[in-house]
Amino acid sequence: MKNKPNILVSNDDGIEAPGIQGLVEELKKFANVYVCAPYRQQSAVGHSITIFYPLRAYEHYMNGELFGMAVEGTPADAVKIGVLFFFKDVKFDLIVSGINHGANTAINIIYSGTVSAATEGAILGIPSIAVSLTTFKKVDFTVPSKIAAKIIKKIWEDENIKIHHGTLLNINIPSVEENEIKGVKITKQGSSYWEDAFEVRSDPTGREYYWLTGKMVIKDNSTEFDITAVSENYISITPLHFNLTDNEAYLEIKDWKIEL
């Protein structure tokens, strides 16, 4: 039996989002939980950090109790300042980011603020986990929170599951009834992508503005990949890293002769 873990929880939907509240409640059943999350919704911020401006932060209360620190910044900012400043005396065992309202699979991973918070945790040397629910519809996070906490507890306690230093796991939970979930799959990032377009509109003064729209082009067709696994009602767990070297291309081009 391992000790009670210290977990820092963050997200990108903001500290008032139902996804973080449900998750914190469930994690508290087996862990010491600390919250440091963006003040406001921060979706699709990618791995932004704030360097040109200072950060502000506030104590955030919920039902009269201190819930955590709300940071006027990005998810990566919140994790950095939570670990290095607000809770600097705590030795964190895990960083958990989520639960995000919307899937973070395939190409979406690189735009994801939720994954970014977990990436920042891994950069800080703490095993980190991002959790997302695959729907944008208004849903109850009670069941997904219980499932996420169960998986995180299992990962923490199971002696056969080793998590170390740079571990970064991206969990996606399909948004279906609990009894429809088929199980857990360890997956790879899919290569499905968005086919984007811009919609042109006019503001009340007649000036144009542009909205990004798009539809996902599905390129993956095996549950070996995250996006397919969740579409077939599996919980997907993908190990990620932040070394972006394309090793295949490196071997291909390393003997290029470029004279100046």
Report the residue number, 64 or 250, with the smaller CB distance to a copy of itself: 250
The verdict on 159 binding a copy of itself (CB under 8 A) reads no
Nearest distance, CB of residue 153 and a copy of itself, angstroms: 11
Helix 18-27 to helix 142-157 angle, to the nearest 10 degrees?
40
Close Cβ partners of 165 (under 8 Å, ≥ 6 residues apart) = 125, 127
Structure tokens at 181: 């979930």
The verdict on 29 binding a copy of itself (CB under 8 A) reads no
Q: Round to whole Å and give the CA distance between 98 and 114.
A: 6
From 18, 30, 55, 233, residue interacting with a copy of itself (rule: CB under 8 A): 55
Q: Round to whole Å and give the CA distance between 69 and 60.
A: 6
From 48, 135, 143, 176, residue interacting with a copy of itself (rule: CB under 8 A): 48
Q: Which of residues 89-128 bind a copy of itself (CB under 8 A)?
A: 107, 109-111, 116, 119, 123
The verdict on 217 binding a copy of itself (CB under 8 A) reads no
Q: Which of residues 57-76 bind a copy of itself (CB under 8 A)?
A: 57, 76
Report the residue number, 48 or 63, with the smaller CB distance to a copy of itself: 48
The verdict on 45 binding a copy of itself (CB under 8 A) reads yes
Q: Round to whole Å and give the CA distance between 256 and 233.
A: 46
Q: Round to whole Å and give the CA distance between 39 and 161.
A: 34
The verdict on 135 binding a copy of itself (CB under 8 A) reads no
Interface mask (CB under 8 A) for a copy of itself, residues 139-158, using x and -? --------x--xx--xx---
Per-residue exposure over 111-134, b if at least 16 CB sit within 10 Å of its own CB, e if not: ebbbbbbbbbbbbbebbbbbbbbb
Report the residue number, 63 or 243, with the smaller CB distance to a copy of itself: 243
